[in-house]
């Protein structure tokens, strides 16, 4: 059972409201019936041209993009929607939007992307999501290097704002400790979620972590980080879940470049020093660099696969298949076997124009044909999809 012991320190500023965004990748285009049905299902959320700094009622902004926005070869048109609502209406707004997009995707045969987490779902997967279910299914924890090529990372949650919660940051984290830090950051997010206000200091007691979290408002977020307000987390305690059981020094040494007088240490939990070989060291600047990074990562991923991935981890690859007219269609495969240069699994996406193949079919491809990969960890974080920015 979750237990909270809240200090009497001053509370952090209230998050202005709840916000999130969704995209419907139509298959292949968004016909009038799809647009009208989605608009009608969202009628209880008022349409607007722009959001105020603090909305007083649920609102949405709708738009449409063509192939230039596309991340799925089968889709030629994308419907976009941005949502904002008061915190007390966050779950109702998310539930309405979720149901509307689920119905539209099922009717159209398309896909839904949660633009906050950048996770893409097929129609059935999105319909199975539960807005009032587990918090952990609705956000991810991203990693970015403090400087290019650095072994120090900055971990940022994406998706908590949809509930009117703060997005959280753990700064100056050793790459080798990132998984354990993410585990503890998730425990902090779970503890903060029910609170209307966040105190400067909070006791964390969950099934996965115990300790004390301190918070500070991030005054200079990076350009690629979620809209504020953001809270930097400083944590001292121990992990009690499956990832590790590691004591944290009560006052670990601060080494962060953004440290200012009076701030505590970053969330820094000692963990196994074994690094994740699939972790990208720097964002590729060109498609050629992305493809080189994929090939390099596949060498380490094959070794990790043979050694046995942790429970809950999923590894998928994309590869070309022969489509009509001599074209190629790139499909995602969830791996079930990787041996002697050959990868077997089941199609995770529904082919658009590949005769005789359907989502769920067993397929086999040569490892040399793999175009990209996605490694989704049991805690919801993911790496890969390196070529996405160049499609």
**The total number of residues written for the chain in this structure:** 391
Does the reported pTM lie above 0.95? no
- What whole-number percentage of the chain has pLDDT above 70? 82
How far is residue 327's CA from residue 322's CA, in Å, rounded to a whole number?
Answer: 6
Residue 8 buriedness (CB in 10 A; 0-12 / 13-18 / 19+): exposed
Question: What is the spatial order of strands in the sheet that 59-65 belongs to?
Answer: 46-47, 59-65, 78-85, 18-25, 111-114, 119-122
The encoded tokens of residue 151 equal 């072994």
Distance of CA 331 to the CA centre of its chain: 21
- Residue 123 C-alpha from the chain's centroid: 18
Q: Give the whole-angstrom CA distance, residue 179 versus residue 79.
A: 35
Looking at residue 241, what is its pLDDT? Answer: 52
Which residues of the chain are under the pLDDT cut of 50? 1-9, 70, 242-281
Per-domain boundaries in the chain: 18-133, 138-239, 287-390
Architecture of domain 18-133 in this structure: 2-Layer Sandwich (3.30)
* Interhelix angle 90-108/32-41, nearest 10 degrees: 160
């Amino acid at each position: 059972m979750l237990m909270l012991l809240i200090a009497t320190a001053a509370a952090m500023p209230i998050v202005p409201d709840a916000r999130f965004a969704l995209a419907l990748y139509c298959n292949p285009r968004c016909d009038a019936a799809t647009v009208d049905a989605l608009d009608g299902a969202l009628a209880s959320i008022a349409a607007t041209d722009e959001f105020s700094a603090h909305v007083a009622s649920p609102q949405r902004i709708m738009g449409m993009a063509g192939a230039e926005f596309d991340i799925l070869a089968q889709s030629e048109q994308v419907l976009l929607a941005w949502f904002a609502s008061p915190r007390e209406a966050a779950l109702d707004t998310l539930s309405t939007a979720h149901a509307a997009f689920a119905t539209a995707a099922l009717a159209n045969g398309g896909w839904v992307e949660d633009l906050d987490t950048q996770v893409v779902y097929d129609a059935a997967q999105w319909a199975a999501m539960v807005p009032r279910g587990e918090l952990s299914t609705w956000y991810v924890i991203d990693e970015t290097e403090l400087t290019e090529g650095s072994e120090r990372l900055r971990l940022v949650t994406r998706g908590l704002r949809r509930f009117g919660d703060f997005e959280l940051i753990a700064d100056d984290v050793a790459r080798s400790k990132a998984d354990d830090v993410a585990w503890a950051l998730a425990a902090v997010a779970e503890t903060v979620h029910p609170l209307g206000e966040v105190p400067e200091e909070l006791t964390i007691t969950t099934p996965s972590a115990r300790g004390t979290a301190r918070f500070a408002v991030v005054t200079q977020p990076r350009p690629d980080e979620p809209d504020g307000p953001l809270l930097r987390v400083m944590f001292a305690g121990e992990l009690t879940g499956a990832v590790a059981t590691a004591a944290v020094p009560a006052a670990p040494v601060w080494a962060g470049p953004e440290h200012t007088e009076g701030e505590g240490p970053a969330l820094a939990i000692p963990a196994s020093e074994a690094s994740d070989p699939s972790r990208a060291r720097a964002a590729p600047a060109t498609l050629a660099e992305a493809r080189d990074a994929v090939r390099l990562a596949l060498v380490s991923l094959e070794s990790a696969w043979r050694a046995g991935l942790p429970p809950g981890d999923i590894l998928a690859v994309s590869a070309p298949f022969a489509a009509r007219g001599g074209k190629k269609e790139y499909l995602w495969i969830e791996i079930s076997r990787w041996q002697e240069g050959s990868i077997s699994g089941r199609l995770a996406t529904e082919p658009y124009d590949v005769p005789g193949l359907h989502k769920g079919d067993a397929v086999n491809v040569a490892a040399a044909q793999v175009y990209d990969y996605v490694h989704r960890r049991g805690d919801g974080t993911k790496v890969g999809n390196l070529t996405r920015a160049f499609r």
